[in-house]
C-alpha cells in the first residue's frame, strides 16, 4: 500500500477556515499533516489543499491569514428555495451521478450574482500560488451534464485556479466553470469528502466540515469505514459543537471564516494524540 493521504472535504468558506485551524492546531501539537504523500481536496478542501501544498506559508502564517479581514470575498447563500431544490434532487436520485446531473441542470439554469470571471478572481485571490505543486494533489469536480466525478492534477493540463474554481462552484450560488468546452460544478456534489479516492493508502486522515450523508451521498465516516475494511488506518475529524456554533447558519459567509478557524484550532487538541499515533506508523 502507498503511505499517507490527507483528505480535505467540502464546507464553504467556514470549512476553509475550520480545516486550516485544525491543521494548524495539530501542527502546534507536533503533528504535521502537510507531509502527506497525497492530498485530496473537494470544494472548500480544494482551496485548503492548494494552499498547504504550495509551500508558500507555514501553518501559523496560513492560520493568521484566516483571521484577517476577508477582503475580496463575495458573500453567498443557499436560500430556503434552493435548499428545497437540493432536497428534491436527493429524494429523486438513486446515485451520486443522478444527483449530480440534477444539480448540474440547476446550476446551468440559475443566474448567479457573479459571472465565471469574477468568481475566478475571488478564488485566485485565495490561492498562494497559481502553479500546481510538485507533490500529489487531486482536486475534485463534477461534470454538470453527466454528474460524474473527475479529478484534476498537475498532469491534467488544466490551470490550478480553474480546477479549484470549478471544485468550489456551488450549484445555484456560483456559476458552473468552463474547462475544455465542458461545464463543471462543485466536487462536493459527489460526496462531501470523496475519501474513497484515498483507496490504497496505508494511513488516511479525513477533515470533513460536512459530516452527514444521505441515501445518495456516502458520508465521510462511511467512506472511512470502507477504507479501513481494505486495510487502511483512518482518522476522521468532523466539527464539534463549538465549531458548528462558530460556522453559524451560513457556511458561505466570509465573516464566519475567522471564528471557524479559531474553533478548528481549539478542536485540534482533542484529536492530536490519535492523529499523531496514526501518522507516526
d(C-alpha 81, C-alpha 56), whole Å:
41
Q: Does residue 216 form part of some domain? A: yes
Q: What is the pLDDT of residue 1?
A: 62
Is-catalytic flag, 180? no
Q: Which three cell numbers stand for residue 155?
A: 498532469
CA 122 from centre of chain: 16
Has 43 been annotated as catalytic? yes
pLDDT at residue 281, as a whole number: 86
The per-residue pLDDT for 52 is 97
Q: Is residue 102 part of a domain?
A: no
Burial of residue 45, with CB atoms counted within 10 A of its CB: 0-12 exposed, 13-18 middle, 19 or more buried: buried
Structural domain of 130: 4-75+112-280
Alpha helices, DSSP H only, in the chain?
A: 12-28, 44-53, 59-67, 80-91, 96-108, 116-126, 160-167, 220-229, 241-247, 257-268, 272-279
Walk along the chain (281 residues) and give the pLDDT tens digit of each residue. 679 999 999 999 999 999 999 999 999 999 999 999 999 999 999 999 999 999 999 999 999 999 999 989 999 999 999 999 999 999 999 999 999 999 999 999 999 999 999 999 999 999 999 999 999 999 999 999 999 999 999 999 999 999 999 999 999 999 999 999 999 999 999 999 999 999 999 999 999 999 999 999 999 999 999 999 999 999 999 999 999 999 999 999 999 999 999 999 999 999 999 999 999 98
- Residues in CB range of 246: below 8 A, 6 or more apart: 14, 18, 256, 259, 260, 262, 263
* DSSP-derived 3-state class of residue 7: strand
Residue 89 inside a domain? The answer is no
Q: Is residue 263 part of a domain?
A: yes
The answer as to whether 101 is a domain residue is no
Q: Which grid coordinates belong to 184?
A: 463543471
Overall domain count for the chain: 1
- CATH code: domain of residue 135: 3.40.1090.10
Pairing of strands 149-152, 177-179: unpaired
Catalytic residue from among 162, 186, 191, 251: 186
Per the CB < 8 A criterion, the answer to whether 170 and 186 are in contact is yes
* Among 42, 43, 93, 191, the one annotated catalytic: 43
Angstrom distance (rounded) from CA 28 to CA 22: 10
In a domain, 208, yes or no: yes
Cα angle 7, 21, 116; round to 5: 65
In a domain, 86, yes or no: no
Q: Note whether residue 217 is domain-resident.
A: yes
Amino acid at each position: 500500500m502507498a503511505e499517507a493521504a490527507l483528505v480535505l472535504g467540502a464546507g464553504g468558506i467556514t470549512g476553509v477556515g475550520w480545516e486550516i485551524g485544525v491543521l494548524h492546531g495539530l501542527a502546534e501539537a507536533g503533528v504535521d499533516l502537510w507531509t502527506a504523500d497525497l492530498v485530496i481536496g473537494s470544494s472548500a478542501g480544494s482551496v485548503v489543499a492548494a494552499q498547504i501544498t504550495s509551500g508558500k506559508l507555514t501553518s501559523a502564517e496560513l492560520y493568521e491569514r484566516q483571521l484577517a479581514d476577508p477582503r475580496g470575498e463575495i458573500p453567498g447563500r443557499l436560500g430556503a428555495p434552493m435548499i428545497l431544490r437540493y432536497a428534491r434532487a436527493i429524494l429523486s436520485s438513486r446515485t451520486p451521478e443522478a444527483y449530480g446531473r440534477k444539480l448540474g441542470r440547476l446550476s446551468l439554469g440559475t443566474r448567479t450574482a457573479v459571472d465565471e470571471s469574477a468568481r475566478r478572481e475571488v478564488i485566485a485571490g485565495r490561492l498562494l500560488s497559481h502553479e500546481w505543486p510538485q507533490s500529489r494533489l487531486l482536486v475534485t469536480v463534477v461534470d454538470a451534464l453527466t454528474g460524474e466525478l473527475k479529478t484534476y492534477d498537475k498532469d491534467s493540463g488544466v490551470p490550478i485556479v480553474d480546477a479549484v474554481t470549478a471544485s468550489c462552484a456551488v450549484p445555484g450560488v456560483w456559476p458552473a466553470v468552463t474547462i475544455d468546452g465542458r461545464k463543471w460544478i462543485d466536487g462536493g456534489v459527489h460526496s462531501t469528502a470523496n475519501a474513497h479516492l484515498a483507496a490504497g493508502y496505508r494511513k488516511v486522515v479525513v477533515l470533513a466540515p460536512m459530516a452527514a450523508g444521505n441515501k445518495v451521498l456516502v458520508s465521510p465516516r462511511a467512506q472511512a469505514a470502507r477504507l479501513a475494511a481494505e486495510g487502511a488506518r483512518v482518522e476522521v475529524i468532523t466539527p464539534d459543537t463549538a465549531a458548528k456554533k462558530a460556522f453559524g447558519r451560513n457556511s458561505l459567509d466570509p465573516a464566519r471564516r475567522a471564528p471557524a478557524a479559531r474553533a478548528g484550532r481549539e478542536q485540534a487538541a482533542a484529536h492530536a494524540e490519535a492523529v499523531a499515533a496514526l501518522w507516526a506508523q
